[in-house]
Amino acid sequence: MRSRIAGTGSYLPAQVLTNDDLARRGVDTSDEWVRSRTGILQRHIAAEGELSSDLAYHASRRALEAAGMAAGEIDTIIVATTTPDFVFPSTACILQDRLGLRGGPAFDVQAVCSGFVYALSIADAMIRAGTARNALVVGAETYSHILDWSDRRTCVLFGDGAGAAVLVPSAEPGIVATRLHADGSQRGILSVPGQVRDGKVAGRPFLQMDGQAVFKFAVRALTDVADEALADAGLPRTAIDWLIPHQANLRIMDATAKRLGVPHERVVVTVDRHANTSAASVPLALDEAVRDGRIRPGQHVMLLGVGGGFTWGSALLRWS
Binding site for ligand UT7 (CB under 6 A): 29, 33-34, 37-38, 113, 152-153, 156, 190, 209, 211-212, 214-215, 218, 246, 248-249, 252, 276, 307
**Residue 155 annotated as catalytic:** no
Contact 178, 117 (CB under 8 A): yes
Report the run of H or E that residue 317 belongs to, with start and end. strand 311-318
Q: How far is CA 189 from CA 184, 217, 229, 317, in A?
A: 10, 10, 26, 30
Q: Report, in Å, the least distance between residue 261 CB and ligand UT7.
A: 22
Q: Report, in Å, the least distance between residue 304 CB and ligand UT7.
A: 12
By three-state DSSP, how is residue 248 classified?
coil
Q: How many other CB atoms sit within 10 Å of the CB of residue 231?
A: 12
User: Helices (DSSP H) in 130-188: which residue ranges?
Assistant: 152-155
Q: Report, in Å, the least distance between residue 112 CB and ligand UT7.
A: 7
User: Per the residue annotation, which of 19, 93, 155, 246 is the catalytic one?
Assistant: 246
Q: DSSP state, 83?
A: S
Q: Report, in Å, the least distance between residue 39 CB and ligand UT7.
A: 9
Q: Which is nearer to ligand UT7, 106 or 279 (CB)?
A: 279
Q: Which is nearer to ligand UT7, 132 or 248 (CB)?
A: 248
Strand partners, 43: 17
Q: Which residue's CB comes closest to ligand UT7?
A: 211
Burial of residue 251 (number of CB atoms within 10 Å: 0-12, 13-18, 19+)? middle
Strand partners, 175: 317
295/281 Cα distance (integer angstroms): 17
Q: How far is CA 303 from CA 56, 195, 241, 253, in A?
A: 20, 31, 11, 12
Q: Which is nearer to ligand UT7, 173 or 305 (CB)?
A: 305
By three-state DSSP, how is residue 198 classified?
coil
**Residue 113 annotated as catalytic:** yes
CA atoms within 13 A on the CB side of 296: 4
Q: Which is nearer to ligand UT7, 127 or 252 (CB)?
A: 252
User: Per the residue annotation, which of 44, 93, 113, 249 is the catalytic one?
Assistant: 113
Q: Report, in Å, the least distance between residue 123 CB and ligand UT7.
A: 22
Q: Report, in Å, the least distance between residue 315 CB and ligand UT7.
A: 17
Q: DSSP state, 265?
A: G
Residues with a catalytic annotation lie at 113, 246, 276
